[in-house]
Structure 1
Amino acid sequence: MKRIAFILGTIALALAGCAMTEQAATPLPVYAAGSLREALTAIAADHEARSGQKVALTFGASGLLRQRIEQGEGALVFASADTEHPQRLAARGGWAPPQVFARNSLCALTAAHISATPDTLLATLLRPDVRLGTSTPKADPSGDYAWALFRKAEAVRPGGYALLETKALKLTGGADSPKPPAGRGTYAWVMDEGQADVFLTYCTNAVASQREVPRLKIVQVPPELQVGAAYGLTQRSDAPRAARDFVAYLLSEPGQAVLQRYGFGRP
């Protein structure tokens, strides 16, 4: 009887090992905000190296990704550039309440011919000859944060909100927004093509864009206009252990260190 029990136990362990190997070989579908592309790609590579679990990353505007998930696409983890979109998934049921895992802020990415400082940024944005680019509100949180900046501008310069809202060019983040060529960053490409003179985007995006197109300049948004971006993370309520392990690694000190290396703030 002991020998039979030993054999059965050995078989069970072998089957469990096969199941774990099969699970690791199946890529974990993770949907994430486009601004996380560099950082999350590095984190996924680190996670795979330490755990053996492959990760399939899908990047895009957070609002559009949420819609795709609601329409039945099989993401198991969703990392959004805000907390509203993952909260909407949680409210529908089947997703865990979101938790903030990173922070970002807005910067102005400007063409070489634009001379602006934090003190003169608002006056520059309001100039009729300056083309102002933003992402698309509702579809992409970056656009929503830009509109929040416009509302703050109203308190500094009465009438500023209406002027900024009217002139803002929604160049990225929408369902029909033109996509950059393969290998090009969205914001670097938009600015390199001369589609805007100033683009309001995340500071992490601005830094990446300047690396790609060095002649671009970055202007910090002054405190009275600054809008903080809180990034929300959620997973399916019935997600397998692989998803829970990836979320735990993203929240761990090594995962947070990678996010900081790419310019994100701690939660």
Structure 2
Amino acid sequence: MVRRSLMAVAAAAALTTVLSACSSNTKAPPMANVAPVQVYAAGSLREALTEIARQHEARTGQPVALTFGASGLLRERIEKGEPAQVFASADTDHPQRLAARGGWQTPTVFTRNALCALTSEQISATPETLLATLLRADVRVGTSTPRADPSGDYAWALFRKADGVQPGAFAQLDAKALKLTGGADSPKPPAGRGTYAWVMDQRQADVFLTYCTNAVAAQAEVPRLRVVQLPAALQVGAAYGLTVRSDAPAPAATFAQTLLQPSAQAVLQRLGFGKP
């Protein structure tokens, strides 16, 4: 009996060891002393990439360091030597410029967005009346800063489309637009506040032209704000470009590929972004 008991104990111990080894093989490797992937990304991606990076870290054990900002300003920082390894821009122009200089891969479109109008509760606009509202002398139109932030460039693309609908509209909108965000010297919101909700909450503009994802997030933060879709004649789409530094370690390319995988795309689309 004693011998049988000892044999049973030994067998149980061996089984525990085997199961423990199998279990350890399914866990992500420890993150201690592992250099993080340095990801520079458009500010409009903050919520989505934070969630995707957290999932990636849990799955692989590879830490990810996220730096957010206006895509044009991020590109300039990268060109000056900051150690970005992955660049996720709100357009394709800025990553293409890095690739053209050398040292970065040809960019890939990994998600899409569009412009919407975020308005105060005092503005009653519909898609059909939006252009007339933007052109009203008493309506302050806010935008991001062109060249520094693609959102501003997309706003000016909207102004050019408006000129095709109503001649002279471009000149009026170009003259009156207030560049309130996205510039190197643009005021920053207090900690914990979204940029666009804060700008509108401070009554700095009556209508702000920004990405639809930003507008929806701002409305969630300040429910009295309104989101107005653009009419078909003024619609402007945003293609988000992704590039990886050519000499970046393998984990950087792995994370970039993750952004194109179904799990990451599901996060992006749940938050209002479009398919590549």
Same fold (TM over 0.5): yes
Shift of 1:113: 0.4
Q: Residue 193 of structure 2 aligns with which residue?
A: 184
Quote the Cα distance in structure 1 between the aligned partners of 2:99 and 2:32.
25
1:140-195 deviation line (CA, Å, top 9, x unaligned): 00000000000000000000000000000000000000000001000000000000
Equivalent position SS for 1:100: strand
Greater shift in the superposed pair: 116-125 or 237-246: 237-246
Distance 1:23 1:232, change over 3 A: farther
Quote the Cα distance in structure 2 between the aligned partners of 1:250 and 1:44.
9
Distance 1:239 1:23, change over 3 A: farther
Q: Residue 142 of structure 1 aligns with which residue?
A: 151
Percent of pairs identical after alignment? Answer: 75
Q: Residue 109 of structure 2 aligns with which residue?
A: 100
Equivalent position SS for 1:37: helix
Give 1:250's match in structure 2, choosing from 259, 263, 268. 259
Give 2:84's match in structure 1, choosing from 75, 88, 111. 75
Given that residues 24 and 53 in structure 1 are in contact (C-alpha distance below 8 angstroms), is that contact kept between their aligned partners in structure 2? no
Q: Residue 53 of structure 2 aligns with which residue?
A: 44
Q: Residue 123 of structure 1 aligns with which residue?
A: 132
Shift of 1:22: 7.0
Quote the Cα distance in structure 2 between the aligned partners of 1:158 and 1:165.
13
Corresponding position: 1:238 with 2:239? no
Q: Residue 93 of structure 2 aligns with which residue?
A: 84
Equivalent position SS for 1:25: coil
Corresponding position: 1:259 with 2:264? no
Shift of 1:248: 1.2
Alignment of 1:55-70 (within 5 A): 55-70=64-79
Amino acid at match of 2:149: D
Given that residues 24 and 52 in structure 1 are in contact (C-alpha distance below 8 angstroms), is that contact kept between their aligned partners in structure 2? no
Corresponding position: 1:109 with 2:118? yes
Shift of 1:244: 1.0
Distance 1:240 1:203, change over 3 A: same
Given that residues 31 and 63 in structure 2 are in contact (C-alpha distance below 8 angstroms), is that contact kept between their aligned partners in structure 1? no
Distance 1:24 1:76, change over 3 A: farther
Quote the Cα distance in structure 2 between the aligned partners of 1:254 and 1:97.
23
Shift of 1:239: 1.3
Given that residues 120 and 200 in structure 2 are in contact (C-alpha distance below 8 angstroms), is that contact kept between their aligned partners in structure 1? yes
Q: 4+ residue stretches of structure 1 with deviation over 4 A?
A: 20-24
Distance 1:242 1:130, change over 3 A: same
Quote the Cα distance in structure 1 between the aligned partners of 2:273 and 2:179.
24
> How many residues align structurally?
248
**Structure 1 unmatched runs, 5+:** 1-19
Quote the Cα distance in structure 2 between the aligned partners of 1:138 and 1:263.
24
Q: Residue 228 of structure 2 aligns with which residue?
A: 219
Bigger Rg, which one: 2
Equivalent position SS for 2:65: strand
Shift of 1:214: 0.4
Given that residues 204 and 263 in structure 1 are in contact (C-alpha distance below 8 angstroms), is that contact kept between their aligned partners in structure 2? yes
- Relative to the length of structure 2, the TM-score reads 0.88
Shift of 1:25: 2.4
- Relative to the length of structure 1, the TM-score reads 0.91
Quote the Cα distance in structure 2 between the aligned partners of 1:226 and 1:264.
15
**Structure 2 unmatched runs, 5+:** 1-28
Equivalent position SS for 2:259: helix
Give the root-mean-square deviation of aligned CA atoms: 1.1
Shift of 1:23: 8.5
Quote the Cα distance in structure 2 between the aligned partners of 1:232 and 1:249.
14
